[in-house]
Chains A and B, each alone.
Chain A
């Protein structure tokens, strides 16, 4: 095509390119970050049993004696080919190992999001509908309380009551191959509950604020004067115009669900990415740490990109250029 494409396509392409540059910058930061950590992987693998000879052998075997730039280029080249390398500690293929962990993380995040996002938006709408009255105060009060309590404490409270006292739900969320989908969903019910409680408040508050903002607009008044039911006014006329800020905060919370739930993973013994990363950080397993960092960065950048694009698409001025 010789003429410049549709402005939306152009914008999206621009954002994508920016995202890729950001990802590259993140990869450099991750690499530099792992290089300046104290100690080295050979020392950490051998731990208390390290002797100078075994250290030297292991360092040579792991290629730790090569210059850093060479290692970065080698690594980045591999990543472009989909090869994340092998874990230094147990020799497993990282891409293969991480795929399972990432799938678990996405499963948990997906289940939590599938409940939290519609619920938060619905509660937000409800709060606006009854603004200043008891349903608004109740919703705001409860969600603010759950968002203020640290997630591990929420987790322990849930375990104590739901698992230990009343034995309703399992306290272990370990899932593994061979479980049916139903068993898996039952196993993760408690972490999903905790995660929903953790992210609900933020999204609900943002929905409420954004909609209240557009409630002042003349077209809302028009809709009210037409005689529409208050909830319809909010859902049909106010919400679409409040999408941009809501999508942003939803994406931020989705990103948190993917990259920030290590504490919940530990409390409920869930085999996700967070635990995988922490195990390898403590052993200085640099290739795994880098790969995890890169995946996390990609998730973050990707979700924000998506939020941008949706905001653009939701904006009629950009959708219908002159």
Chain B
């Protein structure tokens, strides 16, 4: 809450929001505090107006995108799914679980059995009623490796999915206190019969019905008049236009051809915000840019050398120059304050050349150039960031050699293969998922080749711990270990930067993802 207020004040300084809007929002925060829920900021303001055709320009869509929600892997296919489909639950902007197709979620004390009470009276776009069987079939389809679902990983710990009256009961092999968060995965859209009849039918329970779809070009939707949730879907029609060229995207917004765009480039964000009728909205997310070292490969198997490199990077300079200020500094862990149970007390690692030199000397490294592989495909500005890193490391007497790699094939030939390279992580809704995906010694994507039994044990212990205070303490230990000993250098977390015209009202930032977590068309309306 305090951070939100601070951010609002900042924005007034930057003249990005009006005084009236500030008062409205602070009022909304007050109300939120009184009710103890995070669900209301938008609805506490003026009553939404119905009508109009919303046009959204999206970067990150391709001709190859499929409608199957399991295969959604880019901003466009993600946005498409958000229009027509619903998951069981959703993670709110403040990191709480919000009920969607499941009215409530309850787990046992061990976190091994989870019961989802399925909302009754919900209709699919084809008129059929939502049943527990549909939910079970959906979850089972994504648990099947043959579906190639992007959610296959989050479904792996599940041993049984069954219907029980109006409930769906999910049983796990081992306790996982985060299961409700995992079920909010955007791939897990409930489809009639789990989508087994036609995975690409795009029939769901969402606020808008799909009318036409041309992958990589254009999607059109019309309002679902039978929507179970009457508090959303304020437009008569929604059109998604795929505009991959960043300049084309911002000029489409400026010329009024679209009302919203995603992925505003940091270097033009401030300029764009100055054009008449355009508002730029940024929110700090969980995505972060990293330089990763393989802890099992010389010279990175030496803790002092890893620390030397961590002290030799100037994080603030990177945020200022690579992200143009649209981001926050990292602390060599993949977690920041947008995660639930984040430990704020973990000390921020400073840019300290003296310590860098000290650790470099202690490492006994022979002084030969340390090769850092980069490509702009790793993250936007990666090559420039590596050059900054090289300069600051040189001041500490650490010789870095930058090797530029082609974007093409970067993820197959360099990332997770070469011992030191640039990379990007989009973040996960909860800490466990982030650590389990990329830092457990057993993870396929353990891209720092970190192997520490104590660290692994703490993560597994935290996963099944249902006592929040204890859990936070465990994650704090995990963070301290990784910060001190791990192979990840995390200089910065990037903001999601979207923009919309002044016709659109009701915009709320959501750290989960760009475009208000994908709900921009559901929750905003035309003034």
Contacts and interface: CB of A to CB of B under 8 A. Distances in A.
Interface of A: 38-39, 43-44, 47-51, 54, 57-58, 87, 89-92, 97, 100, 156, 159-160, 163-164, 167, 170-172, 174, 176-178, 266-269, 271, 275-276, 279-280, 282-283, 285
Nearest to B406: A38
Interface string B230-258: 00000000000111110110011011111
Given A39-B412, A48-B415, A269-B242, A285 B251 contact: no
A280 B408 contact: no
B217 A176 contact: yes
A92 B200 CA distance: 11
Given A267-B248, A268-B248, A279-B216, A163 B242 contact: no
B243 A269 contact: yes
Contact of B64 (A39, A90, A164, A269): A90
Given A50-B411, A269-B243, 13 more contacts: A44-B412, A48-B415, A57-B145, A89-B64, A90-B71, A159-B255, A160-B251, A170-B257, A174-B243, A271-B216, A276-B63, A279-B62, A279-B63
B123 interface: no
A275 B216 contact: yes
B164 interface: no
A171 B252 contact: yes
B37 interface: no
B161 interface: no
B66 A90 contact: yes
A174 B217 contact: yes
B212 interface: yes
Interface in B407-463: 408-409, 411-413, 415, 444-445
7 contacts: A39-B409, A48-B415, A49-B150, A159-B248, A163-B257, A172-B248, A177-B214
A36 B307 CA distance: 42
**Interface size range of chain B in the complex:** 35 or more
A44 B377 CA distance: 14
B218 interface: yes
Given A171-B248, A171-B251, A171-B257, A271 B408 contact: no
Contacts of B148: 54, 58
Leading 4 A-B pairs by shortest Cβ distance: A89-B64, A163-B255, A279-B63, A271-B217
Interface in B385-405: none
B485 interface: no
Given A163-B255, A176-B212, A282-B408, A266 B64 contact: no
B215 interface: yes
B65 interface: yes
Given A39-B408, A48-B445, A167 B64 contact: no
Given A39-B409, A276-B63, A271 B214 contact: yes
B292 to A, nearest CB: 13
A303 B360 CA distance: 66
A43 B257 contact: no
A267 B245 contact: yes
Contacts of B245: 266-267, 269
Most buried by A among B73, B256, B409, B412: B412
B64 A280 contact: yes
B64 A285 contact: yes
B175 to A, nearest CB: 25
B75 to A, nearest CB: 15
A177 B218 CA distance: 10
Contacts of A49: 150, 445
Given A48-B415, A269-B241, A91 B66 contact: yes
Interface string B117-151: 00000000000000000000000000001001010
Nearest to B447: A48
Contacts of B408: 38-39, 282
Contacts of A266: 244-245, 248
Contacts of B445: 48-49
A49 B74 CA distance: 13
Contacts of B215: 90, 92
Nearest to A91: B66
A174 B218 CA distance: 8
A100 B65 CA distance: 16
A44 B216 CA distance: 18
A306 B244 CA distance: 36
B411 A48 contact: yes
A266 to B, nearest CB: 5
A50 B65 CA distance: 18
B409 to A, nearest CB: 5
B66 A164 contact: no
A174 B66 contact: no
Nearest to B66: A90
A84 to B, nearest CB: 15
A240 B256 CA distance: 48
Nearest to B216: A279
A6 B412 CA distance: 60
